[in-house]
Amino acid sequence: MKNLKFAMFIAAMCMVGGLAVAKDKSINYGPVDKPAAAGNYEGAAAAVLKAGNTKKSKLYPLDDKVNYFLDLGTLTHYSKKYDDSFTSLDEAEKAADEIKTLDSTKKDNSEKNVNPALKPYTGESFEILYSDLFNALNNYNRGGDDNIQNARIEATQAMIKFNTLQDLAAREAAQVEADAKNDKNLKDIEFPPVTSVKFNNSALVSYVALLLERDNNNGNQIPYLKGQIDKAFTDSKSVYYNPKPKSLDDELKVPAGKARINVLGFTGLSPIKVQEKEVKELKGMKFLTVLLAMLQTPQNVSDVITTFTATIPYPTIAATAELANGEKKDTKDLTKDDKVVKTIPTPRSAVITKVQAEVNGQVFELELLEDVGKVIYDSFAIKKDVLYRKAYARAMAKTISAITGFSTASIASPDMVMMLAGPVKKSLADGEKTDIRMARYMPNSAFVGGINVDPGTYDVKITYFDKDGKEVGSETRSIEAKTNKPNIIEAVNLK
């Protein structure tokens, strides 16, 4: 128990004091980014293939198999190679499942809580979910009734997974804590409370499912899907800050004998992970000195500190030491300006703010349905508790290991504590490399709209505008619009 109390003390200080994480070597995605930015998605996919998923690959080493297939599958989808895209996205999900299955067989806390950056990438939950959405669209674009039915199945699977996203994260966070409680060395850890973030539905996924089901004579499904879209806007206001598209009501009012053309506009690039570096690295070490000074530099820390509680919400720490004489020392204000090293999502290109479509001389504006970037931010917020709890359990386990052989009775001064904290801090830093792997070519925004037309073949012109109303690109797509069938056009511009 003595070692555990002191380990909590040292580990908390080291975590908050600023881990000296080794800087990741810069990865040059230029060969893929440049053609993708120019709208040459076939060229970008070719660059991913050329980079390969091998031990020597600079972009996609062997542990990055999931990411390799996610990027390849997304780019081949944009380049209308729907069979290739389906295969790649399916491979990404299979690889992720295999890694997760292997992880689930691990019993030891040190194996369960290993830094994600040191293991094969499993993909973020939203990446796998959006890959299901793109595979639904892949099946639709393959054509034929069987493929459209498969598209409905893929869309339904994506909806189910989104509905369980929040619950899965909460259960995983609880499991980390439960595993710690069953570990004799970690059972007295006090974890911070789980953050409350409500996001368990994607309006975009429900919308695509509605388009696919609308003409399937499935009377019960359509009201349910429309209700799911409404629920997303009601429940997740941080994601769906935009007005609900007015055209949604028109999707259920297609006149008899008419065909409806729907346009999905995918624009911008979704956020990617970056490493936020620490500031004032020595401040945590000063905190050790200050706290011990507050405790009047005891000759035996375990005799004086009867309880040590640390709550470490990013980026601050609140710590309380209870002394043997009943006195409490509160240190919550000492680190209020500290920052810790962590992975955060960072926005990228989102130049396009307006998308317009023209069909047979009729012009209509697409409306923002889903800000994918906001989905990613909320997904990170949901996952933060899991990542933090695992990092805290790792820090505690490493600290306990590091002080094995030391006697708390030998800790006689702040200098002695700092001598011990130094190697512990280095050990933590060596194992806390941030994981910045992430699919790079998901869109940032999804715009939607539609128009009723007589059956026939049409050219659909899609034009993109920036916030100043300046045209930044356009494309024209042809489609044969049929009655009682989904008629979906996808338009992509990653600016």
Q: What is the pLDDT of residues 286-300, one digit of tens each?
A: 334 334 443 333 334
pLDDT tens-digit profile of 167-191?
665 666 666 666 666 666 556 556 6
The CA distances from residue 414 to 289, 296, 302, in Å, are 5, 10, 14
pTM of the model: 0.74
Phi, psi of 473 (to 5 degrees): 165, 160
What tokens does 29 get? 């995605």
Q: Walk along the chain (495 residues) and give the pLDDT tens digit of each residue.
A: 444 444 555 555 444 433 333 334 457 889 999 999 999 999 999 999 999 999 899 999 988 999 999 999 999 999 999 999 999 999 999 998 888 777 665 555 555 555 566 677 777 878 888 999 999 999 999 999 999 999 999 998 888 877 766 566 566 666 666 666 666 655 655 665 655 556 667 899 999 999 999 987 766 788 889 999 999 999 888 889 999 999 998 998 899 999 999 999 999 998 887 655 433 333 333 334 334 443 333 334 444 444 434 333 333 334 454 555 555 555 443 333 333 345 556 777 789 999 999 999 999 999 999 999 888 887 776 666 666 666 656 655 555 454 444 434 344 444 444 444 444 444 444 444 567 788 899 999 999 999 999 999 999 999 999 999 999 999 999 999 999 999 999 999 998
Neighbours of 158 (CB within 10 A): 25
Beta bridge partners of 460: 359, 477
